[in-house]
Structure formats: C-alpha cells, structure tokens
A and B are shown apart, each in its own frame.
Chain A
Amino acid sequence: MVGLLAQAGEAARLDTPEVEWTALAPVLVMIGGAVLLMVVAALAPRGSRVGWHAIVTIAVAVAAIATVVPQWNRVGDDGPFSVVAGSVGVDRFSLFLTVVICASVVIATLFTDGYLRREGLEGAEPYVLMLLSASGGLIMASANDLIVMFLGLEILSIAVYVLAGMHLRRVRSGEAAIKYFVLGAFSSAFFLYGVAMVYGATGSTNLVEVADFLARNTLADSGLLVAGFALLLVGFGFKVAAVPFHSWTPDVYQGSPTPIVSYMASGVKAAGFAGLLRVFVVTFGDYRLDWQPIVYWVAVLSLLVGAVLAVVQTDVKRAMAYSSINHAGFILMGVQAASDRGVSAALFYLAAYTFMVAGTFGVLTVVGRRGDGHHQLSDYAGLGRREPLLALALVVFLLAQAGTPLTSGFLAKFYVIDAAIESRSFWLALVAMLSAVISAFLYLRIILAMYGSSDDAETADGAAATAGPRLRVPAAAGIALVIAVVATIGIGLVPDPLSETARDATPELVASGD
C-alpha cells in the first residue's frame, strides 16, 4: 500500500501539449460567443423587439474576423505555424477560409432575423447553433490532423442538422432535418473509415506525418491508401454536395428554412472544400495520380447532373439546390488541378460564391412569404414590376451564378477553368463550359419569369392579387442584400485584391515546433 502511494506520488507528468490560445482565437471567439449568447438569451426575458440576438451574433462573427488580421500578418512575417502539438495549423489558407465562413454567418444572420420574426419563431437557438456550426467549419479549415478534421466536421454537421429542422411547424423542415441527419451520419462513418484506412497505410492521422511518410516511402501496395482516399472523398463529397453524394441536397435545401440554406450553401460548402483541399491537394499531393481520376469524374458528374437537373425543376429553391451541386463541380475542378493555381482558384470561387449564393437565398427568403412556402416559379412572375429592387438584386445574383462578365461569377469560373487547363484536363474544362451554358438557361428562366412578357403579365397580376400584400423586406435583410450585391459586382469589377489574397492563401503543412 505504501509502495503504491509512493508510486502514485512520483508518477511522471503526462506529456501535455502547449496550447497557444491566441492562435486559436477565431474558434474560441465563436464558441465563447455562442455559449455566452445561449446562457444570456436563456436568462433574459423573451420576446424583445430589438433583434439583439442577431446583433450579438454578427458582433461575434466580426470579432472572429478581426482576430484573423494580426494572425495574417504574423504568418506573413514568420511563416505558417502549427499549435496544440501539431494538430492545428495556422496558415493563410485557413485564415482566408475563416473569413469566408464568418462572412457567410454574418449574411445568413441578417436574413435569419427577419425570417424568425415573420414565422413567429423566437429564441436565440438558431444563432447559437449557427455560430457553433461555423466554429466547426473553422476547425476543419485549420485542422492538421484527420481526427481534428473529423471533430470539426461533426461540430459543423450536428448543429446544421438541428438548424435544418428549426421550423417546428413545417413538416418539410423536420423531414429535411431527419434526412440530412441520417445521410450525414452515414457519410461521417465513411469518413471515419477512410481515416482508419489512411492510418493503416501510413501509421499516423497527423497530416504532416502522413505527408512525410508518403514522401519518404513508396508503398508496395497502395490499395489501402486508395481505399482511404475514396472513403474520405465520400465524407467530404457529401458535405460539399458533389454527385454521386448529392441526393440529400434538393430535399434538404427545399425543406430547410431558407436563411439556413444560405448558410448551408456558403459556409458549410466552404468548410467541406477546406478539408478537401487540405487533405487531398496538400497531404496526398504526391499521390495525385491515384486520386485525380476519381475527383475528375466526381467533378464531371457534379457539373452535368447539377446543371441538367436544375433546368427541369419548377421549384426555385430546388433548382438552386441543383445549381449549388453544379457550382460544387466547378470548385472540384480547382481541387482536381492539384496545383497552387487550382487551390487559389477554388478559394476565389468559394469567396465569390459565398456572397452570390447567400444573396440568392436571401431573396428567396423574402419571396417565400410567411410560411416559407412560395417558391414555385410562378411565384416569381411579375416580381420585376412589383418589387423592382428585390428583383434587380436577384438578377445580379443569378447572372453572377451564370458567370456573366463584370460579376464575381465570371472570374470565379474563369480561374477554375484556367487551373483545369493548366493541369491539362481539357475535357473537364469543356464539360464545365457546357454545363455553364446549360445552367445559364435556368437562371435566365427565373429572370424571364420575373420580368415576364405582357402575355404573362395578366396572370401574374392575378397571382399577385391572390398572393396578398406587398412583400416586406426587413431592414436587416435589406442590408445583407446590399452587402451581397456590392460584393458580387465589386469583386467582378475589381478582382485584384481578392484574387491576390487568394493567391497568397496557400495551404501549408507545418510540423509542430516542439
């Protein structure tokens, strides 16, 4: 007994990692802000007129963006570094995506405020969940270890499952949540299995060590590793809605509350691509010949299926879901290129796409009316006359998504196609341009519906009369729409700041200092 006590007394200190809190600041700000908001909102009386939940959420997201600035400079001065025993990496790639994800939270929050009031839903929970989900996205963007990546993925996903079912009184919302949850759980299992395979092939889950191992050794039998690639791709492909892991997207986008869809299409997609780029392009870069063909075909399928099925939809929200699959195909072209140019093209695309898709779903939120059910193409008939400004904003977003010059969408598409051609994937580039033409038909169809010909005008007015009073655009949603329009046109006119920033934002893997 005495011996046991003595043994316990002189037990060796466990090797605990040094935690550099400042490097984790964006994530800590988001999580801390979310927990604080949750507690304060629970204790404060409900039903206040001022949307302080939304204001706090935006303040937290902006604060997280503010913490990025000093780190961006630090990485510029001292180079990228890794913290927490090499499991979290801080480079300009992760910081860039941190800003993108936080921006998508800000815009989605501005739409959510008006939406919650309109639908008579109260409470701070949607905002808390969105902040927590975004913090998971930030973890994914900076993860240097597959296990940390998985943690980020789950933090991101579980909150979004709940957000999808946020509208308690709409059956479709609950259906969307269950569907998303069940399929998402499956994809997480695939991802974990992939992690296990990679661990089996390389002996580590740390991306630095995996890359190191693959650089120093030639695997006699790469079957295990390729199986790992495939399974990891399933996990990421599900989150970014790439074909053939896309089947949840239309149903979930259609059923979920529209402002949440704006976050799903921008923030969640950005986080998924963050993981995809870091794991595949950076870590498995030496084995690109093994995974490039898989990503190639996933990209081709996403481009074509997204574009073709979007055109035949009559529900605008559903059509936008397919269009987001098409966009995922474009961004996958940047991944497939597996080059610095590909990565910066994908980052540029993600940043530009965040604003245009968030804006699109913002307009859809307003047009959806109370009950969030007016999303048929016929509901848009005559919108150009009834709500000229709202319709104009939607035109800008749709033209940007179609890739019209002078909008951010044109350069985004140009850069990824450029990257694909540089990596000699000519057929992929051709398919991409073809799919852009097909999906342009969808966007023009919506625009034509809004500014319909005089023949339709009669029926449109009839529809407007039955649809009730004028659409009310809440002030917060108006601000968000202005931000999104300015960003979409601004990036299109003056792309250099963003494209240079995206070029600087190269992902790097750095082993821990100690």
Chain B
Amino acid sequence: MAQYLPVVTLLALAVLFAALSFVASRLLAPRNPTAAKSAPYECGIVPSREPPERFPVRFYLVAMIFIVFDIEIIFLYPYAVISGELGAFGLVEMIVFVVAVFASFVFLIANGALDWGPSRRLRRVDPRVSAERTTATTVRRVGLDGREEAA
C-alpha cells in the first residue's frame, strides 16, 4: 500500500488547495457586486441586446476534426518511441491505422468541414429554397419558400 501514498497525498493536497481557495476568497475579497458582475457568463462587457439572428455553430466540427488528429497523435507518438521494438508488426498496424485516419480526413474535407467561408457552397443548391443544412451553415435557408414565380 505504501506505493500509493504519493497519490493519496496529492489527492489530499488538491482537496485542501481547492477548499483553502474558497475560504481565502470568502475572507479576503472585497464584496461590492454590480449588475454587470453578477450577470451570467460575466466577462466585463454588458450585453446590450440579444443576438439578432441564428448563426452557425461550427464548434462541433472543430471538435470532431480535433478528435481525428488528437487520436492520431496519441497513437503515433508512442509508436515513434518504440517503433524498432515493434518491428514489421507495428508498421503494418500503424499503416492500417493511419489509412483509416486519413480516410476520415478525406471524408471531412470532401464534405466541406474546412470550408469556413459563409455560403459559397450554398449557391450551388436550389437558389429558391433549401431546407438542407450544409456544412457551411446550419441555418436553413427559407424565406423564398413557395415563391417560385419570384425566382
């Protein structure tokens, strides 16, 4: 059990540090709250109005691309360290893995995951109305719906 002592010590220190921070902040910090400070997501700037329109959320695409490369590095780096010891077996395994990752990368690019411009891809689909969500925007293009003569 002795070899677990450092882990337990670190755990105790972490808890202690967090608890002390709270207590110290409570004791030492001056308190004079204003509306801006107690607003949610406070960052010093008071929001003057609600966001005027829906806007595309691309975070999930970034997160997905990140995962592709993240996983790749997680495996490639250790492999680079012991590639000699793994020999041909490791090489084949890594090639299989890298091909799979590369295929997903091709898939992402071909589907426009890296097209960050506003609506270049959108113009290619039906200009009147498109209920589709593309990778360039998650906002559905409506508005001219049903006005075929106008178009």
The reply to whether A39 and B107 form a contact with Cβ atoms under 8 Å apart is: yes
Residues of B in contact (CB 8 Å), total 18
* CA A12 to CA B107, docked complex, whole Å: 39
The answer to whether B107 and A11 touch across the interface, beta carbons within 8 angstroms, is: no
Chain B residues contacting A12 (CB-CB under 8 Å) are: 85
Closest chain A CB from B135 CB (angstroms): 11
CA distance A12 to B85 in the complex (A): 7
Cβ < 8 Å to B, chain A residues 29-58: 35, 38-39, 42-43
The answer to whether the Cβ of A2 comes within 8 Å of any Cβ in the partner chain is no
Report how many A-B pairs have Cβ atoms within 8 Å.
Answer: 36
Residues of chain B from 96 to 123 with CB closer than 8 A to chain A in the complex? 99-100, 103-104, 106-107, 110-111
Instruction: Check B85 against A11 for contact (C-beta < 8 Å).
Output: yes
Other than A13-B85, A39-B103, give 13 A-B pairs with Cβ distance below 8 A: A11-B85, A13-B87, A14-B85, A16-B87, A16-B89, A19-B89, A19-B92, A35-B103, A38-B103, A38-B107, A39-B107, A42-B107, A43-B106
Asked whether A43 lies within 8 Å of B110 as measured between CB atoms, the reply is yes
List the 7 closest pairs (A to B, CB-CB), nearest first.
Answer: A42-B110, A16-B89, A42-B107, A14-B85, A35-B103, A39-B103, A39-B106
Contact of A16 (CB < 8 Å), options: B84, B90, B111, B133: B90
User: Do B85 and A42 touch across chains, with their CB atoms under 8 A apart?
Assistant: no
Q: Which of B85, B104, B131 has the most CB of A within 10 A?
A: B85
Asked if A168 is an interface residue, CB under 8 A from chain B, the answer is yes
- List the B residue with the shortest CB-CB distance to A124: B107
Contact B87 A11 (CB under 8 A): no
What's the Cα separation between A144 and B103 when bound, in Å?
A: 29
On B, residues with C-beta under 8 Å from A are: 82, 84-87, 89-90, 92, 99-100, 103-104, 106-107, 110-111, 131, 133
Who on chain A is nearest to B99 by CB?
A35
State in angstroms the CA–CA spacing of A16 and B100 once bound together. Answer: 21
The reply to whether B86 and A16 contact each other, CB–CB distance below 8 Å, is yes
Residues of B within 8 A of A42 (CB): 106-107, 110-111
Chain A nearest CB, measured from B39 CB (Å): 31
State A425–B131 Cα separation when bound (angstroms). 57
B106:A14 contact, CB within 8 angstroms: no
Kindly identify which residue among A11, A17, A19, A169 contacts B84, using a CB–CB cutoff of 8 Å: A11
Partner of B133, one of A19, A38, A168: A168
A411 to B86, CA, bound (A): 52
Contacts of B107 in A (CB 8 A): 38-39, 42
Proximity bits, A225-239, B CB within 8 Å = 1, else 0: 000000000000000
User: Contacts A42-B110, A43-B110 hold; do A14 and B103 have CB atoms under 8 A apart?
Assistant: no
B-side contacts of A39, CB under 8 Å: 103, 106-107, 110
A14 to B85, CA, bound (A): 6
| Residues on B with beta carbons closer than 8 Å to the beta carbon of A14 | 82, 85-87
> Hey, which bits of chain A sit against chain B, CB under 8 A?
8, 11-14, 16-17, 19, 35, 38-39, 42-43, 168-169
Which B residues touch A11, using CB under 8 A?
82, 84-85
Cα–Cα, bound, A329→B85 (Å): 50
Give the complex CA separation of A473 and B103 in angstroms: 35
Task: Enumerate chain B residues within 8 angstroms of A38, measured Cβ to Cβ.
Answer: 103-104, 107
Q: Which residue of B lies closest to A168 (CB)?
A: B133
A sample of 19 cross-chain residue pairs with beta-carbon separation below 8 angstroms, ordered by A number, consists of: A8-B84, A11-B84, A11-B85, A14-B85, A14-B86, A16-B86, A16-B87, A16-B89, A17-B89, A19-B89, A35-B100, A35-B103, A38-B104, A38-B107, A39-B103, A39-B110, A42-B110, A42-B111, A168-B133
Q: Measured between alpha carbons, how far is A14 from B78 in the docked complex, in Å?
A: 14
Residue of A nearest to B92 (CB): A19
Q: Give chain A residues whose Cβ lies under 8 Å from the Cβ of B103.
A: 35, 38-39
A36 (CB) vs chain B CBs: closest residue: B103
- Chain B neighbourhood of A35, CB < 8 A: 99-100, 103
Residue of B nearest to A17 (CB): B89
Q: In the complex, A14 Cα to B103 Cα: how many Å?
A: 29
Docked CA distance A316–B75 (Å) = 47
Cα-based distance from A8 to B131 in the complex (angstroms): 60
CB-defined contacts of A8 to chain B, threshold 8 Å: 84
With both chains docked as a complex, state the minimum distance between the C-beta of B89 and any C-beta of chain A, in angstroms: 4
The residue of chain A having its C-beta at the shortest distance from the C-beta of B104 within the complex is A38
Chain A residues lying within 8 Å of B92, measured Cβ to Cβ, are 19
**Cα–Cα, bound, A12→B86 (Å):** 9
A11 to B131, CA, bound (A): 60
Residues of B within 8 A of A16 (CB): 86-87, 89-90
A439 shortest CB reach to chain B, Å: 41
Separation in Å of the B67 CB from the closest CB of chain A?
Answer: 13
CA distance A350 to B25 in the complex (A): 64
State the CA gap A291–B118 with chains docked (Å).
60
Chain A residues, CB < 8 A from B133: 168
**Chain B residues with CB below 8 A from A168, complex form:** 133
B86 neighbours in A (Cβ, 8 Å): 14, 16
Q: Determine the distance from Cα of A8 to Cα of B84 in the docked complex, in whole angstroms.
A: 9
Alpha-carbon distance between A17 and B88 when the two chains are bound, in angstroms: 11
Shortest Cβ distance from residue B148 to the other chain A in the assembled complex, whole angstroms: 18
Of A8, A11, A42, A168, most B-chain CB atoms within 10 Å:
A42
Q: Which residues of B contact A169 (CB under 8 A)?
A: 131
